[in-house]
Amino acid sequence: MKKNIDINAAYKPDGIEGEGYFLTTLDKVVGLGRKNSLWPLPFATSCCGIEFMATMAAGYDLSRFGSERLSFSPRQADLLMVMGTISKKMGPILRQVYEQMAEPKWVLSVGACACSGGIFDSYSVLQGIDRVIPVDVYVPGCPPRPEQIIEGFMKIQHLVETESLRRRESEEYKKLLGTYGIQ
Amino acid sequence: MIVSELGQYIQDKIVAKFGEGTSKLEIHYDFPVLIVSKSLVYDLLDFLKNDESLAFNYLTTMCGAHYPNAHTEMEFGLMYQLHNFENNNRVRIKVFMPKSDLNMKSMTPLWPAANWMEREAYDFYGFIFSGHPNLKRILNMDDMNYHPMRKEYPLEDATRHDKEDKYFGR
Ligand code: SF4
């Protein structure tokens, strides 16, 4: 007997529908597309990176959220996932990776270390990556479980879906980047 | 050769070559340790490496140390650990110096392996190795302006503002 499985790949945005047409705003269509095809760049430097491996593997399967394809080139990535301790020496490298990514781009900071330096309150460790690049979503935990990473990822998806197409041109956004000295 | 015999043997060779009172022998667990005067170190290590019966051909490791409570003449130290592959003998050489004079001859002509280890000792303690081919920081960021393993500097990151007493009701 055939089982009836309800497959719901992506929600349809609000709009006006009729015979052979569907009307909605461009923002929503683009948001829908971007949200379900994020290409993350995993910047994994230590233990939190191991949790990410679990997140990406079959048990938790991040591909269910449309990020089947990890990008190891910043030029093709639109989500920077920073997982692990970032030493001060690594700071400029992280920043360079961020600068190489094309707009629009988002940043997910995973774990206590990336968020705040974590247990490493030390001369050699950057006390939170938001000292060198802007961060969209913080995931606490040392390390956070894959479920938490996925929740953080879904928060990013929500931001992506609802972001206005003009946000990246706004004065506010430019000012934010300006505080980090990024053009 | 048992450790104390080995230590005594090396000590005797050094005394014969450099004279009485140039090195002090101690046995730490299973390791002979020789504390030598600073001016002699390079020649002495050269001798330990090239003398046929000693032949310590391998520099296992070296590092710096800081003893803030020690006598000012003994505040900073360097340690060299040598290994003779053929007889499997090992020895440790220590040298102490005051903070005002952290200069030391580079051992890179004897063992190229000293290159990075001396850079580390420079990076963390500020020892200056004369004759080193490329004495710059190795592990810390280049624009760091102090030597973090010295005890006069706090271990914690100085840029945090969330640890002030008022947040903890102190
Ligand atoms: S937050 Fe904890 S688990 Fe994650 S990188 Fe830091 S120390 Fe490791």
For A139, the enclosing helix (H) or strand (E) is: strand A137-139
pTM for the model stands at 0.84
Task: Write out the two tokens for A171.
Answer: 């004065």
Q: What percent of chain A has a predicted confidence (pLDDT) above 90?
A: 56
Does the domain made of B3-114 have the CATH classification 3.40.50.300? no
Residues from chain A contacting residue B157 (CB–CB below 8 Å): 117, 121-123, 125, 127
Does residue A11 belong to any structural domain of this protein? Answer: no
A135 close to ligand 1 (CB < 6 Angstrom): no
What is the number of domains present in chain A? 1
The residue among A86, A88, A113, A123 with the most chain B CBs within 10 A of its CB, best to mutate, is A123
CB B102 within 8 A of CB B126: yes
Q: What is the pLDDT of residues B114-141, one digit of tens each?
A: 999 999 999 999 999 999 999 999 999 8
Distances (CA, A) of B126 to B11, B118, B140, B148: 30, 10, 12, 9
Furthest-apart CA pair in chain A: how many Å?
65
Does residue A108 belong to any structural domain of this protein? Answer: yes
B35 strand-pairing partners: B24, B94
- At B2 the pLDDT is 84
| A125 reaches B (C-beta below 8 A) | yes
- At B136 the pLDDT is 92
CATH code, domain carrying A32: 3.40.50.12280
Average pLDDT over chain B reads 90
SS3 B122: helix
Residue closest via CA to ligand 1's atom 6 equals: A113
Does residue A154 belong to any structural domain of this protein? Answer: yes
CB A40 within 8 A of CB A72: no
Atom of ligand 1 nearest to the CA of A85: 5
Task: Write out the two tokens for A165.
Answer: 């197409």
- Across the interface, whether the CB atoms of A117 and B157 are under 8 A apart is answered yes
Q: What is the pLDDT of residues A168-181, one digit of tens each?
A: 888 888 999 888 88
Residue B146 confidence (pLDDT) above 60: yes
Q: What is the pLDDT of residues A1-19, one digit of tens each?
A: 566 777 666 678 888 988 9
Domain holding A167, by residue range, is 23-179
Does residue A17 belong to any structural domain of this protein? Answer: no
CB A109 within 8 A of CB A137: yes
| B140 reaches A (C-beta below 8 A) | yes
